[in-house]
Structure 1
Amino acid sequence: MRVLHLLDTINRGGAEMQALDVCRNAHKYGIELTFVTAQGGAMEKDFRVSNAEFIRLSRSLPLDFPLVLKLRKIIKDKKIEIVQSYQAVDGLHLYLATLNLPVRQVLSFQGFISDKKNRQTSRFLIPRVDANISVSKGLLKWLKQNDRLDTSRNFHIIYNGADAKRLAPSGKSLKKELGLDEDILLFGMIGNFYRDPRKDQMTLCKSLPEIFAEIENACCVFAGKIEAGAEEKFQDCLDFCRENGIAEKVHFLGGRSDVPDILEALDLFVFSSLHEGLPVVVSEAMLTNVPMIVSDIEPLLEASGNGEYAEIFPVQNAEVLSQKILKLLKDENLRENLATRAFKFATENLSIEAHLRELRKLYNSIL
């Protein structure tokens, strides 16, 4: 089965990591994968050494007809049978590149749509492609109710999944890097600071004074780059920590490529969020046996078995979050039990193997 995936940029993020895990493992499921990026990015070196053929093109305009022609040539030369895009701009270029060709088209929705132009493009593409993928039921509901997209037919739920082999730690110690003693209870969040209302690092920051007042040997880390337009959100977090006298216990790591080493160091993972599709980092935490606390938004409830495999707190409720964190940090047995059950659930439902099994079934159904 010859398949082409297109992703406009490949900077470090959840959709990009999902695509990389697919590239590394698709061949095990009989998928001969060609991966194309239109602009490249920080993860290009990783994609080049994956098990998929890697092609970098260039896009100069929002709708780039030279790019369309190059994609069409690749599709014809390699006898591609299915093309898949991860966002509207990719989907439109692939739609045009495959016109009047015997090629099936798949459009994947990884998260909510932040602007009118992409909503209009998605509205155009949805009835014209052969299959649409939503990464969670919660996202599907959001696309219908908030983005006003017609999700009544031709939509399929396929959960994102992480590659457990990629999550093996390198042996580097985050605590040593930060100058922390080994007995420090370390918790934290992995997620970029976005301009749009997506991640919610501030609520975690607001929960910290009460936690540090009760547990002296606790520290918190935030890992994630600062997207253009999100500088004020990041600065607000810094200012809050300084103004409340906790800055020495809170470490902002910036964008990191060593997520397995960060997860290895954590006693507890916190994911405070406003809107999500189905973040890969949630499955990464579960597959590395790190107990987890998540916001009670629908996709995260879905990923955690409605709270059976993670502690849940109300969105933006720092008081409840601090109590949940304290409960888990004070009880090692509770943390271990939660992590063990979550690992089993993620292996069955949120692993790259589970993702590719369902993706292969979908591909078979549209050929």
Structure 2
Amino acid sequence: MHILQLITKFYRSGAESLVYDISQILVEKGYKVTILALNKNENSLEEDNIKKNLESKGIKTLCFNSQRTHVQKIRHLVYEIKENHINLIHAHAYHPNKYGRIASFFSGVPTVVTYHSATNDWVNFRARTLEKILSLSIFKQKRVSVSKIPLNHYRNKISKNKEVFIIPNGVFVDKYKEEKSLEEVRRSLGLTKSDKMLLNVGRIVEAKNQKVLIKALAKLKEKGYRDIHLFIAGLKQNEDLFKELLDISQKSNLSSNVHFLGSRNDIGNLLQACDVFMFPSLNEAHPIALIEAAFCGKVILASSIEANINSFSQESVIFLKENHVDHIVESLENIFNDFNHYSSYGLKAKSEAENKYNIYKTVEKYENLYSGLL
């Protein structure tokens, strides 16, 4: 079977990271896999590195020119499906889901559609109408939601009775084994043994709420915590927000305490090195970054949004009562004052992640859907 995985761009984001991982497993199981991105990544170096890594694992990669019109992309997509003898399309996220089903109609190749979005993709009339049309039975498809959150949006805006399967995101159990020693990683980040390292992994966008972390760090510094460093690893997707975060850091005299790492391919090393993983997101569908931190057995401080509290128990993750500066400061002080006690949360988080979010289970569920369409 030749499966076409359809994504937005070759970059490091939740949905795309899942695609890279499940594609690797599918190839190991004997499937032929091609990943096609509808648009170019503005960071060509990141795109090239991701593609080289995928191709080294036997995964073919294709990427469309971002300047092509909708019609041109659909025509090219249908051409690639026929030229590469694709048996099944698996589309991920809003735009790929649209293109995948339209191309499916013209090529006769069935589609698995996965909804990844934490926000409502169908707020306007045009988007709702198109999704209702693409959900008709004339399109041979199976629909998947990564959690109840995208599913509820679909139920409220598109259809209350069409079949949608829930398949949670998964992570490799051994993906984040230490590649470097803890001392080596911390030294490379400019940290001493006494420094406290807070880590946030996520794109620079409003929904990830990194602003509140910087403000909390400023308050901690005022209270005498001088050796705390916040590292933010993620694509600078919102340039205006990035400049605002830099400005807040500088005005709070935190230039030497707040570090923007950009998109990284060594998240495993960063996770192993950090003392506390910070996850104050305002919305998520099914938080891969949170799951990755749990697999590393980290102490996690997270917002009490639906996606987070549905993913882990209160015995595994320390959930904020309120996602505000004062509550983050109070929670971090509690952790620092009794770190041995709170480290037990990390051990429970790791056990829970291994039981619930092993990516091989995720792939098995998708395989069942693939078989049901062919």
- Asked if TM exceeds 0.5, the reply is yes
Cα offset for 1:189?
Answer: 0.7
Other structure's SS at 2:245 match: helix
Structure 2 CA distance for aligned equivalents of residues 121 and 333 of structure 1: 53
Q: Which residue of 2 aligns with 1:104?
A: 110
Residue 85 of structure 1 contacts residue 94 of structure 1 at CA under 8 Å; is this kept in 2?
yes
2:44 maps to what in 1?
none
Choose 29-38 or 217-226, whichever is displaced more. 29-38
- Equivalent residue number for residue 218 of structure 1: 228
**Structure 1 segment 82-231 matched on structure 2, within 5 A:** 82-99=88-105, 102-111=108-117, 112-113=119-120, 116=124, 118-127=127-136, 128-145=139-156, 148-150=157-159, 152-171=161-180, 173-194=184-205, 197-212=206-221, 213=223, 215-227=225-237, 230-231=238-239
- Once residues 336 and 133 of structure 2 are traced to their aligned partners in structure 1, the CA distance between those partners, rounded to angstroms, is 49
Q: Counterpart of 2:7?
A: 7
Judge which range, 276-285 or 135-144, deviates more: 135-144
Q: Distance in 2 between matches of 1:59 and 1:95?
A: 19
Alpha-carbon separation, structure 2, partners of 1:243 and 1:4: 48
CA 246–99 in structure 1, closer or farther in 2 if over 3 Å, else same: closer
Q: Which amino acid aligns with 1:360?
A: E
Deviation digits for residues 240-272 of structure 1, max 9, x if unmatched? 333333332222222222211211210110111
Rate the CA distance shift 1:77–1:62 in 2: closer, same or farther, 3 A.
Answer: closer
Paired residue total: 359
Q: 2:273 aligns with which of 254, 259, 265?
A: 265
Contact 1:4/1:84 (CA < 8 Å) preserved in 2?
A: yes
Shift of 1:352: 1.6
Deviation track 1:305-332 (CA, whole Å, cap 9, x = no partner) reads: 3x33211114532211222222223323
Deviation at 1:83, TM superposition (A): 1.1
Residue pair 2:81, 2:107 contacting (<8 A) in 1 also = no
2:208 aligned counterpart, secondary structure: coil
Quick check: 1:164–1:351 contact (8 Å CA) kept in 2? yes
2:59 corresponds to which residue? 52
Matched residue, 1:364: 371
1:354 counterpart (350, 361, 364)? 361
1:88 counterpart letter in structure 2? Y
Q: Provide the secondary structure at the position in 1 that maps to 2:362.
A: helix
Q: Which moved more, 1:350-359 or 1:231-240?
A: 231-240
Counterpart Cα distance in 2 of 1:223 and 1:120: 37
After superposing the two structures, state which structure 1 stretch, 344-353 or 241-250, moved more.
Answer: 241-250
CA distance in 2, matches of 1:165, 1:220: 26
| Aligned counterparts of 2:207 and 2:108: Cα–Cα separation in 1 | 38
For residues 143 and 110 of structure 1, the distance between their equivalents in structure 2, rounded to whole angstroms, comes to 11
Q: 1:122 to 1:262 in 2, by over 3 A?
A: farther
* CA drift at 1:40: 4.4
- Find the counterpart in structure 2 of residue 252 from structure 1: 260
Partner of 2:17: 17
Whichever residue aligns with residue 103 of structure 2, its letter is A
Cα 1:103/1:168, change in 2 over 3 Å: same
SS class of match (1:198): helix
Shift of residue 135 of structure 1?
Answer: 0.9
TM-score computed with the length of structure 2 as normaliser: 0.86
- Give the whole-Å Cα distance in 2 for the aligned partners of 1:149 and 1:161: 27
Change beyond 3 A, Cα 1:30–1:119: farther
Q: Distance in 1 between matches of 2:90 and 2:322?
A: 33
Are 2:342 and 1:335 aligned?
A: yes
Q: Is the 8 A contact 1:105 1:130 kept in 2?
A: yes
2:311 to 279, 290, 303: 303
- Superimposed CA distance per residue, residues 184-229 of structure 1 (whole angstroms, 9 cap, x where no aligned partner): 12112111112xx4211112122223333254432221122221xx
Task: Kindly state the Cα deviation for residue 120 of structure 1 after the two structures are TM-superposed.
Answer: 4.7
Residue ranges of structure 2 left out of the alignment (5+ in a row): 42-46
| Alignment partners' CA distance in 2, 1:106 and 1:247 | 46
Question: What is the one-letter code of the residue matched to 2:239?
Answer: E
Cα distance, 1:109 vs. partner?
Answer: 1.1
Please, what TM-score do these two structures have when normalized by structure 1? 0.87
